[in-house]
């Protein structure tokens, strides 16, 4: 059974800092890995999807990497802003089946 | 606008009273899924569907039913709701083909908050 772990569970940084969120998974037989953002009481917004054949994807200040052999993905956020404060979730996707981590709650202080 | 629409957004019901949460997507996606999100337990998959008339259990299917009679709709049915099914429910959909741009990008609905008394 696929297990997904996100470390740290919570992170607080000052505005402007670069930061890395971690996601690890136990079964490397995946199709894709997707990163989401969730604001309190809201739905999930897709940030980046990395297909199993790719090693990284970039969107603006966000960069996500994937290392299937080690079962790890990282989400790098450059020059963090208070508006980046949210919970970040990673999901391992294998066809219709998906497994989510518990998320990292990020607080960016002005 | 491409979207996944869930209804109702909020519902309070009583134990044993059958209810259905509807999910509809207008993107012609093959894959659809239901999840529940609970504090301390994260987001867990209930059921998923790979196409019309093809459904399979996720990690927490007990107490739920689904059907996929049309490509755009994937309702979640609680035949006899119990208080432990109080949760925030999400529906999501995606394309199935790896060759298409945006394939497998999960698009989520806004969520349905269900309270069972």
Q: What would the pLDDT profile of A55-103 be if each residue is shown by its tens digit? A: 999 999 999 999 999 999 999 999 999 999 999 999 998 878 899 999 9
pLDDT at B32: 95
Of the candidates B45, B56, B103, the beta carbon closest to that of A98 is on B45
Q: What is the DSSP string of B48-62?
A: EEEETTEEEE-S--T
pLDDT at A31: 81
Contact A105, A9 (CB under 8 A): yes
Q: How far apart are CA A49 and CA B43, in angstroms?
A: 18
pLDDT at B45: 97
pLDDT at B53: 93
pLDDT at A15: 97
Residue A82 token pair: 């208070």
pLDDT at A95: 79
Q: Which of residues 30-89 of B touch A (CB under 8 A)?
A: 31, 33, 35, 42-45, 48-50, 56, 58-59
SS3 B100: coil
How many CA atoms, within 13 angstroms, populate the side-chain half-sphere of residue B65?
A: 9
Beta bridge partners of A98: A93
Residue of A nearest to B51 (CA): A96
| Alpha-carbon gap: B116 to the closest alpha carbon of chain A (Å) | 18
Are B110 and A43 a contacting pair at CB < 8 A?
Answer: yes
Residue A9 token pair: 């569970």
b (16+ CB within 10 A) / e for B54-72: ebeebbbbeebebbbeeeb
Contacts of A31 in chain B (CB under 8 A): 98, 104
Q: How far apart are CA B94 and CA A22, in angstroms?
A: 24
pLDDT at A63: 97
Contacts of A32 in chain B (CB under 8 A): 104
CB atoms under 10 Å from CB of A104, counted, come to 21
Average pLDDT (B69-87) is: 97
Pairing of strands B107-108, B87-94: antiparallel
Task: Indicate whether A9 pLDDT > 60.
Answer: yes
The gap between the terminal CA atoms of chain B, to the nearest Å, is 36
Of the candidates A32, A44, A103, the beta carbon closest to that of B108 is on A44
Task: Indicate whether B96 pLDDT > 80.
Answer: no
CB atoms under 10 Å from CB of B44, counted, come to 17
Residue A16 token pair: 């402007």
Q: How confident is the model at residue A51 (pLDDT cuts 50, 70, 90)?
A: confident
pLDDT at A28: 84
pLDDT digits (tens, 9 = 90+) for B12-44: 999 999 999 999 999 999 999 999 999 888 899
Are B33 and A100 a contacting pair at CB < 8 A?
Answer: no
Task: Indicate whether B101 pLDDT > 90.
Answer: no
């Amino acid at each position: 059974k696929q297990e997904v772990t996100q470390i740290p569970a919570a992170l607080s940084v000052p505005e402007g800092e670069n930061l890395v969120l971690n996601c690890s998974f136990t079964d490397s037989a995946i199709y894709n890995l997707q990163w989401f953002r969730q604001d309190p009481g809201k739905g999930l917004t897709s940030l980046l999807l990395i297909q199993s054949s790719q090693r990284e994807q970039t969107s603006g200040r966000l960069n996500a990497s994937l290392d299937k052999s080690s079962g790890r993905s990282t989400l790098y956020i450059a020059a963090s802003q208070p508006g980046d404060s949210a919970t970040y979730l990673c999901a391992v996707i294998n066809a219709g089946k998906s497994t989510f981590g518990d998320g990292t709650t990020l607080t960016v202080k002005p | 606008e491409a979207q996944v629409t869930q209804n109702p957004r909020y519902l309070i019901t009583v134990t044993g009273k059958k209810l259905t949460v509807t999910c509809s997507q207008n993107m012609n996606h093959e894959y659809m899924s239901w999840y529940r999100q609970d504090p301390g337990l994260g987001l867990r998959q209930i059921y998923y569907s790979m196409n019309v008339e093809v459904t399979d259990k996720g990690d927490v299917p007990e107490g739920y039913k689904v059907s996929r009679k049309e490509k755009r709709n994937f309702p979640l049915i609680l035949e006899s709701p119990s208080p432990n099914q109080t949760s925030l429910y999400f529906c999501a959909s995606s394309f199935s083909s790896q060759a298409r741009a945006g394939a497998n990008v999960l698009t989520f609905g806004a969520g349905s908050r269900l309270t069972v008394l």
